[in-house]
Amino acid sequence: MMKIKYLLLFLIIGNVFFQAQINNVEKNILERLTYKELEEEFYKDRSEDANSARSIANYYLKKAKFEKNTAQIAEGYVMLHFDESLPNALQYLDSLQHITKNSKENIYPARTYLLRGILYFKNDNLQSALNNYILGLKYAKEKGNNRQIAMAHINIAYLNNYIGKHEETAKVLRHYAYDADYMNEDEKNSLKLNLADAYIEISKMDSAYILIQEGLQDSRKNKNVYRYYQNLGLLGYYHLHSKNYQKAIDGLLECEKYFFTNNNGSKRNQHYTLLYLGKSYAGLQEKEKAVNFFRKIDSMVLKTNYIYPELRDVYTYLIDYYKENNAKEKQLYYVERFLKVDQVLDSRFRYISRELPRRYDTPELQQEKENITNELTKRKSLFYIVLSLLLVSHLLFINVYFKYKKSEKNYKKIAQDLIQSVNENRGSRESEIKKEILPETLPVENTEDRTTRAISEDIAQTILKELDIFESKDQFLNKGITLGSLAKKIKTNSKYLSEIINTYKGKNFATYLNDLRIDYAINRLANDRKFRSYKIPFIAEELGYNNEQAFTLAFKKRTGTPLSVYLKEIENMRVS
């Protein structure tokens, strides 16, 4: 007997020692992790090992308090409030509110109210959930936190779903599932799951089926067992709604096995799995099996006080079943149960139905109205700005147009005068009329100025005779003529030639050469139809220019009218 006592004592001491060793190892591991790594471990362990997750949360908070790190202390309270009883969880959130009351982060205080709202919703206190969602939304808007605004809208959408506003729920969930880039993949998957449920309620069966299949595929790929069974349960509801009762039962029985093993499922998952199974068997007219599942639901309601609208169907079915079987006591019992549940549901429904429009829908509509009004005001302002710009641009266009028309008229007049002067003075390049039209000609220096130059009169006259030959034989049309090459040709030097051209022609060499070529062009284009029919680049080359642009620029500079106008007026005058 003593040996057994010693053995038991030894085992107890050994177990305590072993446990201490394990705790020591865990502590050493946790000490090496950063806050971020601890958070990642916590949220990973929440769905797999609740005890491990709680140990991480406790260590996290202890570490944060030791280091007096306010932001991480707040995070510790958030982590610890999960999976706690309602009173304990509320205490942690109260501590969170206290520690963050002076926080400059834009997530507070909205975060606290939203977490509190979610907590109340999970614990079936919809009134308090709504109150906290509304406050969370208010502070999120004040801080301009789009993500928290989204979370408030989404959770309020679930309340709308509760009171039967499935269309509105689907609209909100669809927006945040597909159009909000600040939602992570896990959150989007959760939204799609709930969106599929709303689609079934409004009989958008094809859309629901696609989302459910995507959810099943994604959960298999990511080995997310819990999400897989959530989607499988929803597939069961899809089949139930489609009256494929046996298919519904096959999947739902798998869900029952999972959600009721090792506390894998939430109250909602457990209740709705049994509900859909009961309704599926009822659809097959297997009343005993249906009743069996509905009775299990009643037992769970008594334990958890989890009440939801579909319970009315459960108790109605049970009452009718026992009425058919003439079981008065059972019938009376379920009538009483029905009345109690109905009273709670009616109270909730009336509160949510009254408060949601008053405290959420109406302010949201007012905000939407204000946004639309502002948008219309901006559009109106923009319209007037655009209209003013169009008016100014139109006036500018008119101004430019009339200037263009005036210039065009002026160009035509110059071109007509040029053509007339050519016709009146055919064969003479230097007529008096042309000199009046071509404004670039400079006044010739007087004789007294010329006699002061270092060039003798004989040399000057010789150079002038050579220039006359240069002009009369149209040698200026040759390409590549320079002052130096011309001086060499007439057997003088560049300096003398430049002085003579400047003195006797009243212009520099480049202008002199251009004027000769353009004067030649004016006459030939007017008199030679074949030459006029050539393309401009060919005409430019014939006149000694390297390219079309150099020729057209020189023409306008010399004449005061564009080449195109001159050619057009020649044709017009020929026709008339």
Q: Is the pLDDT of residue 170 over 70?
A: yes
The secondary structure of the chain in percent helix, strand, coil, rounded to multiples of 5, reads 80, 0, 20
User: According to the model, what pLDDT value does residue 427 have?
Assistant: 47
Nearest to 570, CA basis, from 520, 524, 518: 524
Q: Is the pLDDT of residue 153 over 80?
A: yes
The type of residue at 55 is: S
Mean pLDDT of the chain: 84
User: According to the model, what pLDDT value does residue 434 have?
Assistant: 40
Q: Is the pLDDT of residue 521 over 70?
A: yes
Per-residue pLDDT averaged across 450-460, rounded?
67
Least confident of 74-78, 195-199, 454-458, 525-529: 454-458
The residue ranking higher by pLDDT, 393 or 465, is 465
The residue ranking higher by pLDDT, 364 or 62, is 62
| Residues 536 and 525: beta-carbon distance below 8 Å | no
Tokens coding 396: 């500018």
What is the percent of the chain where pLDDT is above 70?
Answer: 86
Per-residue pLDDT averaged across 90-102, rounded?
93
Banded model confidence at residue 455, pLDDT cuts 50, 70, 90: confident
User: According to the model, what pLDDT value does residue 212 have?
Assistant: 96
Per-residue pLDDT averaged across 194-198, rounded?
95
Banded model confidence at residue 23, pLDDT cuts 50, 70, 90: very low
Q: Rounded to 10 degrees, what is the CA torsion of 260, 261, 265, 267?
A: 40
pLDDT in tens, 286-299: 999 999 999 999 99
User: According to the model, what pLDDT value does residue 451 have?
Assistant: 38
Report the b/e string of 347-359 with b at 16+ CB within 10 A: ebbeebeebbeeb
Banded model confidence at residue 416, pLDDT cuts 50, 70, 90: confident
User: According to the model, what pLDDT value does residue 376 have?
Assistant: 67
Banded model confidence at residue 338, pLDDT cuts 50, 70, 90: very high
Least confident of 87-101, 170-184, 384-398: 384-398
Half-sphere exposure at residue 354, Cβ-oriented, CA atoms within 13 angstroms: 7
Q: Is the pLDDT of residue 131 over 60?
A: yes
Task: Read off φ and ψ for residue 263, nearest 5 degrees.
Answer: 55, 40
Tokens coding 464: 């002038």
Quote the DSSP letter at residue 477.
Answer: G
Q: Compute the distance between CA of residue 341 and CA of residue 468 in angstroms, rounded to an integer.
A: 123
User: According to the model, what pLDDT value does residue 180 have?
Assistant: 85
pLDDT in tens, 531-556: 888 899 999 898 888 899 998 998 99
The residue ranking higher by pLDDT, 566 or 240, is 240
Banded model confidence at residue 458, pLDDT cuts 50, 70, 90: confident
User: According to the model, what pLDDT value does residue 526 have?
Assistant: 85
Tokens coding 29: 């591991």
Banded model confidence at residue 118, pLDDT cuts 50, 70, 90: very high
What is the percent of the chain where pLDDT is above 90?
Answer: 41
Banded model confidence at residue 13, pLDDT cuts 50, 70, 90: low
User: According to the model, what pLDDT value does residue 435 have?
Assistant: 42
Q: Is the pLDDT of residue 384 over 60?
A: yes
Banded model confidence at residue 320, pLDDT cuts 50, 70, 90: very high
| Residues 531 and 539: beta-carbon distance below 8 Å | yes
User: According to the model, what pLDDT value does residue 567 have?
Assistant: 86
Q: Is the pLDDT of residue 31 over 80?
A: no
User: According to the model, what pLDDT value does residue 409 have?
Assistant: 83
The residue ranking higher by pLDDT, 277 or 450, is 277
User: According to the model, what pLDDT value does residue 357 have?
Assistant: 74
Quote the DSSP letter at residue 502.
Answer: I
Render 350-413 in DSSP notation, one character per residue: HHHHHHHIIIIIHHHHHHHHHHHHHHHHHHHHHHHHHHHHHHHHHHHHHHHHHHHHHHHHHHHH
Q: Indicate yes or no: pTM above 0.75.
A: no
